[in-house]
Amino acid sequence: MSKTILLLPGDGVGPEICRQAGKVLDALRGYGLDVELQTALIGGAAFEAHGEPLPAGTLAAAQAADAVLLGAVGGPAYDALPRAQRPETALLQLRSALGLFANLRPALLYQELATSPHSSRRSSAGWTS
């Protein structure tokens, strides 16, 4: 059964991130990964094309997708826009609509820093091996 992954390149390094991720996913298709990739605009790119950072079509595509891969949103060119039109607003709206509240990012905790007074053993459990 095919799964749909929505790529939202956005701004800054986001398009490059999504382009490379798309290449990886395409390569994995050769090994049996059954995915359909779709792309939509978000952030500054969407504002420039549609006058809003999260067009209704992008939100609908995200809600219909099995997974969303977001590149990045925002940049200095959009700092002067009113809050409702800033690219970061799209990220907050998307999280709200999809019932999400956090980003998951890969991280390393170096053993040398595990005993630092600024790290928490409780929060780093399982990450220090």
Average pLDDT by consecutive 10-residue portion of the chain (129 residues)? 95 96 95 96 97 98 96 94 95 93 73 69 47
| Residue 83, in any domain of the structure | yes
DSSP letter assigned to residue 23: H
| Residue 103, in any domain of the structure | yes
| Residue 9, in any domain of the structure | yes
| Residue 129, in any domain of the structure | no
| Residue 57, in any domain of the structure | yes
Handedness of CA 64, 25, 36, 70 (dihedral sign): positive
Please tell me the predicted confidence (pLDDT) of residue 104: 67
Q: How far apart are CA 36 and CA 26, in angstroms?
A: 9
Find the domain containing 95 and state its range: 3-124
The answer to whether 112 touches 50, Cβ cutoff 8 Å, is no
How many domains is the chain partitioned into structurally? 1
The answer to whether 18 touches 52, Cβ cutoff 8 Å, is no
| Residue 71, in any domain of the structure | yes
From residue 49, alpha-carbon distances to 4, 10, 54, 67, 110 in Å are 24, 12, 11, 24, 43
Strand order in the sheet with 3-10: 35-39, 3-10, 67-72
| Residue 23, in any domain of the structure | yes
Beta strands in the chain (DSSP E): 3-10, 35-39, 67-72
pTM score: 0.79
| Residue 60, in any domain of the structure | yes
The answer to whether 17 touches 70, Cβ cutoff 8 Å, is no
Please tell me the predicted confidence (pLDDT) of residue 128: 42
